[in-house]
Chain A
Amino acid sequence: EAGVAQSPRYKIIEKRQSVAFWCNPISGHATLYWYQQILGQGPKLLIQFQNNGVVDDSQLPKDRFSAERLKGVDSTLKIQPAKLEDSAVYLCASSSADRASYAETQYFGPGTRLLVL
């Protein structure tokens, strides 16, 4: 079974530029998460999707970050304009659970390392 795919793996941009990340979850997984991992810290949730609907985006800086999950499969995360403090690894994860079920294991992609200069 293929794992969670993410691209690009690395991205370097200058502040105030825009950037987009792509995620393809494990086939059949209804729930998709985007996490931000700053160097030396654990991942922190940015947004959670259930199929193509947003479940939790309370920690997403909506003035600059946006995300969508068209057709309930692939997802894109965009930053516009980027700030220096956005330098981090952006991790996508998916799980087979829905809101009514018990927690299922989240499987992570390789992440996208973003450096904002």
Chain B
Amino acid sequence: AQKVTQAQTEISVVEKEDVTLDCVYETRDTTYYLFWYKQPPSGELVFLIRRNSFDEQNEISGRYSWNFQKSTSSFNFTITASQVVDSAVYFCALSELGNTPLVFGKGTRLSVIA
């Protein structure tokens, strides 16, 4: 069975600090996809990144970076120089090959204080 664990329920940082959101997953499939979504107070889930299980390259997009390590089944998300607009709930999710539904973690609520 698939499972996604986000152990950090809430994180609070001061603006301009770096913050890392942890994600650990379980799956028996050798091919799978990992995702991060952002859910601001408005409620809409905003897609941030998708990574397939064969691509362990880390990715950087502006202030965002992702570290994928199959050896530890982790897909962590780092925000550099956090801003107040980064305040939201962040979800890590997993899906199998073949267009299957997403399995989400419980989310991490990030509060960035000015």
Contacts and interface: CB of A to CB of B under 8 A. Distances in A.
A102 B101 contact: no
Interface stretch (B57-65, B66-74, B75-83, B104-112): B104-112
B106 A104 contact: no
Interface size class of B (residues with CB under 8 A): 20 to 34
Given A109-B44, A111-B44, A101 B102 contact: no
A45 B104 CA distance: 10
A65 to B, nearest CB: 16
A83 interface: no
Contacts, number: 69
A98 interface: yes
A57 B33 CA distance: 22
A41 B106 contact: yes
Nearest to A101: B99
Nearest to A111: B43
B98 A89 contact: no
Contact of A48 (B96, B101, B106): B101
A56 interface: yes
B97 A106 contact: no
A72 interface: no
Nearest to A109: B44
B7 to A, nearest CB: 13
A2 interface: no
Given A42-B104, A45-B102, A103-B50, 13 more contacts: A31-B99, A35-B101, A42-B93, A43-B102, A44-B104, A56-B100, A93-B45, A97-B99, A102-B98, A103-B98, A106-B102, A108-B46, A113-B43
Question: Nearest 10 CB-CB pairs, A to B?
Answer: A42-B104, A108-B45, A97-B99, A45-B101, A110-B44, A103-B33, A111-B43, A103-B95, A42-B106, A105-B50
